Amino acid sequence: MKDVIIDIERWRVSGRRIAVARVVATEGSSPRGAGAAMVVNDVGEVAGSVSGGCVEGAVVAAATEVLDGTRAPGVITFGYSDDDAFAVGLTCGGTIHLFVEELAW
Amino acid sequence: MVIYERLRDALAAQRPVVLATIIEGIPIGAKLLIEPGAAPLGSLGDANLDRVVARDALGELAAGITSTRHYGQRGEARERDVTVFIESFAPPPRMIIFGAVDFTAALARVAKLLGYHVTVCDARPVFATTARFPMADVVVNDWPDRFLASVADPLSPRDAVCVLTHDTKFDVPAIMSSLSTDVGYLGAMGSRTTHEKRLQRLREAGASLDQLARVRSPIGLDLGGRTPEETAVSICAEIIGLRTGRAGAPLTTGDGPIHNQDG
């Protein structure tokens, strides 16, 4: 989260609600390790990254749903081994697990 | 937002801190912020779970590890009621560069790119100035052994020492005092001839064969570069390879996994 604090602070000043997606675990080959973070605000601005660019779009969608209240905070998984309908393949062939929640703590 | 704000302040001050979050189980999203020497902030919903996670978090912080762990609702081991993401924010690793020479500025720049807290140390005040090394976090005018003795937190396996002086009167005390720490990388610049002579001097100063095996010299990976910038990349590449246990060969000629599982 260290890399996105500056963006969070800017958004907080302007009264934005913010969702945070953090990589909590990875399997196989994946470019960003546990702790990599992305933040999305309620007007769709984005900062940070959680992969080599493969899943960022899907993470923004999930984060926006968390802010809308249409998705509960929780773990989402991306990768070939995933059979969830939300699955997006990673070019690197690995699997990443992210925890997505609103920054309200 | 008290937990976030304390995390933000700890990160800004480069204080070590750990954020624990329940990511599976109840109460999902609950947080505990742990700082060494301070009372934890927040709760995971059970006092005993808080105590067990705080203990584990401090262990992970010391090792610089971020991971997920399973516990029972009251912190029991070998149960899986809750999954806790334990995210360690260790202060940046340190690189100490001995010798304010041509190569120092380039090495300090590349080390900053890799996230190191960089100190340049040289006994000669004319050369070791912040004007020459604005990219360094700290510039020190001191003898290497006296400087290392004054470092409050002993060097750890995450840290690196690069001895660029190639002058035995500085090299030998710099290497001998580094060898008495747990520093993860200890490299010394110089040609193979310089290296042989330096080994002799280090043996005379009392270094054992095991200790001499820790000294990476001539410094860096064999990339054939020559400029200070190319040399800096070669040194930093060696540091990364030593940490991950990789030899530094092209991936094209290999066939194993690209990343280690522990990152």
Residue type, A21: A
The whole-number pLDDT of residue A87 equals 53
Q: If 0-12 CB within 10 Å is exposed, 13-18 middle and 19+ buried, where does residue B224 land?
A: exposed
Distance, in Å, from the CA atom of A103 to the CA atom of B95, rounded to the nearest integer, reads 34
Q: Encoding tokens for residue B144?
A: 């290497």
Tally of domains within chain A: 1
Residue B144 lies in a domain: yes
Residue A6 contacts B where some CB pair is shorter than 8 Å: no
What's the per-residue H, E or C state across B56-103?
A: HHHHHHHHCCCEEEEECCCCCCCCCCEEEEEEEECCCCEEEEECCCHH
Q: How far does A69 lie from chain B, in Å, by closest CA?
A: 15
- How many interchain CB pairs under 8 A, A with B? 61
Per the structure, the complete domain to which residue B78 belongs is given by: 2-89
Tell which of B89, B122, B155 closes a domain.
Answer: B89
Last residue of a domain, one of B43, B71, B89: B89
CATH number where B118 lies: 3.40.50.720
- The pLDDT-based confidence of A30 (bands split at 50, 70, 90) is confident
How many structural domains comprise chain B?
Answer: 2
Quickly state the pLDDT bin for B168 (edges 50, 70, 90).
Answer: confident
- Please indicate whether, in this complex, the C-beta atoms of A105 and B29 are within 8 angstroms of each other: yes
Interval A33-62 mean pLDDT: 92
From B72, B89, B106, give the residue that closes a domain: B89
> Are B238 and B167 in the same domain?
yes
Instruction: Please indicate if any CB of chain B lies within 8 Å of the CB of A52.
Output: no
- Tell me, what's the pLDDT at A90? 59
- Of residues B3, B11, B263, nearest to A33 (C-beta): B263
Tokens of B227: 């400029």
Q: Examine the domain organization and report whether B99 and B78 are in the same domain.
A: no
pLDDT tens digit string along B231-256?
999 999 999 999 989 989 999 998 88
Residues B24 and B101 in one domain: no
Whether A82 has a pLDDT exceeding 50, the answer reads no
Domain region containing A81: 2-102
> What are the pLDDT digits (tens) for B123-164?
999 999 999 999 999 999 999 999 999 998 889 999 999 999
Which residues of chain B lie closer than 8 angstroms to A22, CB-CB?
85, 87
Question: Chain A within 8 Å of B42 (Cβ-Cβ)?
Answer: yes
Tokens found for residue A104: 């309200």
How do beta strands B215-216 and B185-188 pair? parallel
State the smallest CA–CA distance between residue B201 and chain A in angstroms: 43
Query: Using a CB-CB distance cutoff of 8 angstroms, which residues of chain A are in contact with residue B21?
Result: 99, 101
B89 touches A: beta carbon within 8 Å: yes
- How many Å separate Cα A47 from the centre of its chain? 10
Tokens 């043996």 locate to B203
| Alpha carbon distance A94, A88 (integer Å) | 11
Same domain? B78 vs B109: no
Determine what percent of chain B is predicted with pLDDT higher than 70: 99
Q: What is the pLDDT of residue B153?
A: 84
Residue B255 within a domain: no
pLDDT of residue B91: 86
Per-residue pLDDT tens over the stretch B40-87: 999 999 999 999 999 999 999 988 889 999 999 999 999 999 999 999
CB B138 within 8 A of CB B14: no
Does one domain contain both B219 and B115? yes
Residue in the block written with tokens 């990976």: B221
Rg (CA), chain A: 13
pLDDT confidence tier of residue A85, bands split at 50, 70 and 90: very low
CB-based contact B23 A99, cutoff 8 Å: yes
Q: Distance from first CA to last CA of chain B, Å, rounded?
A: 31
Amino acid at the residue B128: A
- Chain B: give the shortest CA distance to residue A33, in Å: 6
pLDDT beyond 80 at A81 = no
Tell whether B110 and B142 lie within a shared domain: yes
Q: Is residue B249 one of the residues assigned to a domain?
A: no
Please say whether the beta carbons of A34 and B87 come within 8 A: yes
- Which pLDDT score, from 0 to 100, does residue A52 have? 77
| Vertex B79 angle, CA B56 and B90, to 5° | 20
State pTM to two decimals.
0.78
pLDDT of residue B220: 97
Burial class (CB in 10 A: 0-12, 13-18, 19+), B149: exposed
